Amino acid sequence: MRKPTLGNPQNTIEILQKYDFSFQKKFGQNFLIDTHVLDKIIRAADITKEDMVLEIGPGIGTMTQYLAEAAGKVVAVEIDKNLIPILTDTLHDYDNVTVINEDVLKLDVRELAREENGGRPLKVVANLPYYITTPIIMGLFENDVPVESITVMVQKEVADRMQTGPGNKDYGALSLAVQYYAEPYIVANVPPNCFMPRPRVGSAVIRLTRHEKPPVEVKDEKLMFDIIRASFNQRRKTLANGLNNSDKLSLAKEELIEAIERLGKGPGVRGESLTLEEFAELSNYIYALNR
């Protein structure tokens, strides 16, 4: 079995110097230089030779080497063209890796899963570029990409937001969206010194295991997410006022109050105290009233 050659500071510096590589801040480039963290990610992702892994942002190929050892196949999507010759070099020994030089947000990942994996579910594993964490994850869920799990390094604060529930200051639209599609689990917290260059924020590895079926029954998903966004857009307002101020929902205030009362809540209730089940119930009432 081959051993990954990257994942420590010396080898990373060596390869960066060999190719005279300069980090691009706009691409959120913070490369992993800690083998313990890499081992933890691979273990949490639970990869077998049956799996196809999609890696977003392979960088110089550090985690890609680990993934190629564990998986049947790896497709790695990297936006920075200056990293492509480096990846050709560092992944030279692996015949189960395909590198695509593309912006992942412009790529049709569903089509990719169909072509490369016969439409079977992928496992997504990545040390994500933090500036586009939410669009990447929501894009995978909302576009019905067949994914079994997403195991990713994200900003610590974002991991907390994904995992938390009502009553916590981090609870919001992202928590509800993620939990509608998946079961979140924070695997590890990762300090800045595990990266080169060091990010200014703390990081965490989170695993999102996709639900086979959402935990709540919703008549109109888009309506529920419009309601959720409207409730958290104006956190200080009551739920009724927040929803009343939304231009996406055209309901009279009395109807909104009635729908909220049917949840068994008083008029002063705020969106941040509602569970996913309650948002689903509320959106189903409003759906019925709209018809």
Annotated binding site for S-adenosyl-L-methionine: 30, 32, 57, 78, 103, 127
Task: Render the burial of 249-286: b for 16+ CB within 10 Å, e for the rest.
Answer: bebeeebbbebbeebebeeebbbbebebebbbbbbbbb
Q: How far is C-alpha 59 from the chain's CA centre?
A: 18
**Are the C-beta atoms of residues 90 and 66 closer than 8 Å to each other?**
no
Choices 44-52, 100-108, 179-187, 239-247 (CB under 6 A): range interacting with ligand SAM:
100-108
Nearer to ligand SAM, 67 or 218 (CB): 67
Closest distance to ligand SAM from the beta carbon of 46 (Å): 19
Backbone phi, psi, residue 193, to 5°: -75, 0
Closest distance to ligand SAM from the beta carbon of 263 (Å): 40
> In the set 80, 160, 278, 281, which binds ligand SAM (CB under 6 A)?
80
Determine if 109 is a binding residue for ligand SAM (CB under 6 A): no
Q: How far apart are CA 78 and CA 226, in angstroms?
A: 32
Question: Measured between alpha carbons, how far is residue 202 from residues 156, 159, 186, 205 in Å?
Answer: 5, 10, 13, 11
> In the set 21, 31, 181, 225, which binds ligand SAM (CB under 6 A)?
31
Determine if 56 is a binding residue for ligand SAM (CB under 6 A): yes
- Contacting positions for ligand SAM (CB under 6 A): 27-32, 56-59, 62-63, 77-80, 83, 103-105, 127, 129, 132
